[in-house]
Amino acid sequence: MRSSDPALTLVVSAIVLAVAVVAAPAHAYCRISTSCQPGLQSHVCTPAGSDDCGTPVFWATPCVGWSLQKDASTQVTFSQAEQIVTAAFATWMSTPCSGGGTPRIKLTEAQPAECHQHEYNQTEGNANIIMFHDTGWPYARSFIGITRVTYNLGTGEIYDADMELNSTNYQFTTGDTGVDIDMLSIVTHEAGHFLGLGESPTADATMFPSYQSGTTTPRDLSDDDIAGICAIYPPGEIPSDCDPTPRHGFSTLCAADQQPITCGAAPATTCIASEKGRLVLTEKTAGKEKLKVRLTKLQPAVMQSQFGDPITGSTAYAICIYDAANQLKGTYTVARAQDACGDAPCWSKVSGKRYKYSDKSTAADGILEMKLIAGDAGKDKVEVIGENTNGNLPTGLAARLQDQSRVTVQVLSSDASCFGVALTRVKKADGTVFTAIGP
């Protein structure tokens, strides 16, 4: 556990299949709160109840990312599930608050998750995952869905939330007719927990803990639901550079699978493409070798979370150079997340949209500087500069690329996206200097 993380606990909120729905006295709304007794869920309601205790939980940042687990379900395709989850979160984000405006919270989709389990990692990257369990549902059979929220015990700040759907014991439907277990209703309810709302005793509320098979009523928020979400996230402006990157960085992988980054034997096939690139290798004089990589006009637009998080997370990077036959010829690795370079951190965050790496000692394979710049399509870029002034830059690549007519350059991240371009206009390849631009 990092010393910067106070004690954490986990709260479980679920929706169950109703045998009968019985109206209960109405509270305006209830919020999940920090647990007053270990292992038990607590809440704070408005108006206050006799059993209220703890500190209400909330997302401290107005921008939160979520990832759908890539396998989805045999009942529901990835595309269908993606549309439904997007619609459920949009319901909460777009609801009108009584004083005007909408809740100050923005939920955005990140890359699909490889990981298929709930976890919060204090030393590795994270993702807020929505997942199905087609087999082996690990909770009580009566639970149709469950959301597990990890929070700061002292402040109530939410660190992580994972939503799990019971497709082992229930048949989810996605349309307006022939409804069995309406997925949109269930996910809208669980999205409320994801955002910090607790169960409501009001039978017509989306946050009522029981679901009547065949109904779609929970798709639409009640007045109580609206009052609750607007109280947690009062309307206000969301900064344009708001970053949805999870605490300790983003990763599609479970912690156990987050291994140091390495280049593949052949180029990766799923990298974000650069419309313009440049590679310069200069190896004329021993001790003065240089490397320059520049990928610009990335398509589509790149969010900062797609670079991972080398500041509070564990993201590492690899620069991979392939010849015309797609054979790996050169690699450079920068695995310095959270490290210090001299008296300052190696990585810094600049203007909210870019990461910058700077190390005068060039300890990581001779890399002096990296810039990872997010932005609109065509305005984002990746730059790498390396020097062999301290004997750390791998050499001989210019010789290995001699007379090559084409190269592929890729920059990989250990827990986020990769970026690359094939450079087909070789300007010089004489064995001591290699220069190519492209595509």
CATH (domain of 196): 3.40.390.10
The full DSSP string for 67-136 is: EEBTT--SSS-HHHHHHHHHHHHHHHHHPPPTTSS--S-EEEE-SPB---S----SSS-B--EEEE-SS-
Angle at CA 13, nearest 5°, toward 10 and 18?
160
Mean pLDDT, residues 350-371: 91
Those residues with Cβ within 8 angstroms of residue 84's Cβ, 6 or more apart along the chain or in another chain: 76, 174, 183, 184, 187
3-state SS, residue 245: coil
pLDDT for residue 243 is more than 90 = no
In a domain, 205, yes or no: yes
Shared domain check, 142 and 15: yes
In a domain, 240, yes or no: no
User: Cα separation of 173 and 360, whole Å?
Assistant: 58
The full DSSP string for 20-36 is: S----PPPSEEEEE--S
Shared domain check, 374 and 339: yes
Look at residues 232, 267, 300 and tell me which one is the last residue of a structural domain: 232
pLDDT tens readout for residues 25-50: 444 899 999 877 766 678 899 998 88
Shared domain check, 196 and 130: yes
In a domain, 157, yes or no: yes
Shared domain check, 350 and 294: yes
Please give the single-letter amino acid code of residue 182.
Answer: D
pTM value is 0.65
In a domain, 47, yes or no: yes
Count the domains in the chain.
2
Shared domain check, 228 and 264: no
In a domain, 85, yes or no: yes
Shared domain check, 207 and 338: no
Shared domain check, 390 and 284: yes
**Residue in the block written with tokens 């593949």:** 264
Shared domain check, 276 and 167: no
What is the span of the domain harbouring residue 77? Answer: 8-232
pLDDT for residue 4 is more than 90 = no
- Give the helix, strand, coil percentages of the chain, each rounded to 5: 10, 35, 55
The runs of H, that is alpha helices, within 32-112 are: 78-94
Shared domain check, 21 and 138: yes
In a domain, 239, yes or no: no
pLDDT of residue 20: 41
In a domain, 41, yes or no: yes
pLDDT for residue 358 is more than 90 = yes
pLDDT for residue 8 is more than 70 = no
Q: Which two tokens stand for residue 201?
A: 């005793």
Shared domain check, 296 and 198: no
In a domain, 123, yes or no: yes
Whole-number mean pLDDT of the chain? 90
**Residue in the block written with tokens 């910067």:** 4
Half-sphere exposure of 237 (CA within 13 A, CB side): 3
* CA nearest neighbour of 410 among 420, 401, 402: 420
* CB-CB contact of 194 with 128 (8 Å): yes
pLDDT band at 259 (very low <50, low <70, confident <90, very high): low
